[in-house]
Amino acid sequence: MALSSQRLEASLGKRVKLTLTCGAFQGVLQHVCLGSGLLLHTVKNLETGRSSPGVKVFFSQEIVNVELLDEPDSDKGTAVLSKCTSALEENKGGDTGTADGGPWTSPCFSPERQLRALNSLNLNSLPGNEEEEKVEYTVVDCFQQKFGPAVLHLKQQHVISVVGEGVNLCCHGKLSWLQVATKSRVFLFDIFLLGPQAFTNGLQMVLEDKNILKVMHDCRWISDCLFHQYNVLLVNVFDTQVADVLQFSVATGGFFPHRTCTLQECLMQHLKIPSRWNTLMKCKQQMALENPDMWFLRPLPASVFQVLALKAKCLLLLHSSLMDNFMSDLTGVVRAYLNTSQNGPEDHLGSIKPTCMELPKELRQLADIQKLRREKAVKDYRINEDGLLIRPPIELNEGSPQKDETH
């Protein structure tokens, strides 16, 4: 494997011809993803004669032959060809979950069609395109220049948000992008190009730092992927999906909903995101479902990068909103404490010993509040056979956000 890897890496920058199970292509070898495939730029379909701009991904499961077109010595070229083919064959056996027609077994998708669809996510075509609504971001796709400063910035933070994009994110899935946001920066790490070294060179240290709070939404899937594929053990996580359910329980006097909310629903409910942002996220989500391989196209249009950055940035805002909701009862009781001491009779505390631990009336009022909330929830929601409140889908009407009556 080491020799094969060296041969492949030595071919970077050279023109190659790929024979696939579904056709033949040629282009300049840009990146070798052992266990995944090859990245070529300036790609030409040899059957149709059509050329495609940008970088294209060819997955190892469909590659039959690799021929080095820039090699002047044909015998030497054949020798390297055998090494390249050997490496790809070895990687086929080591790549789990691909023998049954999974998402990684379709390199012969139409890149032109998918890029046209991705480019249709045009920010300028949506209503309310104010310049200040755009999120600034930095794409980190190599270890020179950008990677080191990005990791250094993250190590200095107390709270960050983390989002992953890819195909079937779990222990057998494929992670393509990792979005990490701070209060001032958003980084889009191209894990497909950076590979596992992205974690061993710094990201693992950030994700495992107990002093850095990681804000995520339904962390189970990305945690499964990071742990089993990259040996990353996530700690100190604030999960917004869990927080939303707990907040629902507080707002309804102790009831729990029959289902959880997606990130998009949480953003609509707690942040009242503008309709144009909602439209962008819906388009991206639908396209990812129809074409999961879109996450492995290079380059991605700027509008898709904008959506990735937007999700990471909104997660931080969602964390702040949920924390404010959690603190509302606490601040209300503290305010009642202050009002009693500042506006009550001068000697109202004189008969109470400083060491008295009896529950004050201000705190006992929380029970009355919870009872009223519960009575209201029974009127506002239907209850299923498990005693859970049936939570309706959260919709955002164009131009006017819907308000959740329970919050």
SS (H, E, C) 118-181: HHCCCHHHCCCCCHHHCCCCEEECCHHHHHHHHHHHHHCCCEEEEEEEEECCCCCCEEEEEEEE
Mean pLDDT, range 216-241, rounded to an integer: 95
Burial of 47 (0-12, 13-18, 19+ CB in 10 A): exposed
**CA distance linking residue 314 with residue 323, whole number of Å:** 14
Q: Report the distance separating Cα 267 and Cα 260, nearest Å.
A: 13
Count of all residues that appear for the chain in the document: 407
- Integer-rounded Cα Rg, in Å, for the chain is 27
Q: What is the dihedral of CA 187, 229, 319, 332, to 10 degrees?
A: -150
Do 406 and 377 contact (CB within 8 A), yes or no? yes
Of the given ranges (44-48, 99-103, 304-308), which has the lowest mean pLDDT? 99-103
- Could you tell me the two tokens for 127? 């209503």
Q: Is the pLDDT of residue 50 over 80?
A: yes
Residue 395 is inside which H or E element, if any? none
Domains of the chain in start order, with CATH, are 2-107 (2.30.30.100), 117-240+277-321 (3.30.420.10)
Q: What is the DSSP string of 189-207?
A: EEHHHHTTHHIIIIIHHHH
- The two three-digit tokens of residue 61, written as one number: 């499961």
- Taking CA 69 as the corner, what is the angle to CA 66 and CA 72, rounded to the nearest 5 degrees? 125
- Reported as half-sphere exposure (CB side, CA atoms, 13 A), residue 134 has a value of 14
Residue 147 has pLDDT above 90, yes or no: yes
Residue 233 tokens read as 């053990």
**For 150-175, what is each residue's pLDDT tens digit?**
999 999 999 999 999 988 888 888 89
Residue type, 344: G
Which pLDDT score is estimated for 350? 56
Alpha carbon distance 1, 7 (integer Å): 10
Structure tokens at 57: 């991904």
Instruction: Name the strand (E) or helix (H) holding 118.
Output: helix 111-119
* pLDDT higher than 50, residue 306: yes
Q: What whole-number distance in Å separates Cα of residue 100 and Cα of residue 288?
A: 20
The pTM for the full model equals 0.69
pLDDT the model gives residue 373? 93
Supply the pLDDT for residue 346. 61
Least confident of 186-195, 257-266, 277-286: 277-286
pLDDT for 360: 83
pLDDT tens across 57-108, in order? 777 777 888 888 866 544 444 444 444 444 444 444 443 333 333 333 334 4
Highest mean pLDDT among 32-41, 97-106, 138-147: 138-147
**What pLDDT, in 10s, does the model give residues 172-198?**
888 999 999 999 999 999 998 899 999
Nearest to 240 by CA among 281, 209, 270, 278: 270
Beta bridge partners of 223: none
Instruction: State yes or no: pLDDT of 361 exceeds 50.
Output: yes
Q: What is the structure's pLDDT at 6?
A: 62
Task: Please check the confidence at residue 299 and state whether its pLDDT lies above 70.
Answer: yes
- Compute the distance between CA of residue 128 and CA of residue 277 in angstroms, rounded to an integer: 10
Contact 307, 288 (CB under 8 A): no
Judge contact between 87 and 5, C-beta under 8 A.
yes
Higher local confidence (pLDDT), 395 or 358: 358
* Confidence class for position 338, pLDDT limits 50, 70, 90: confident
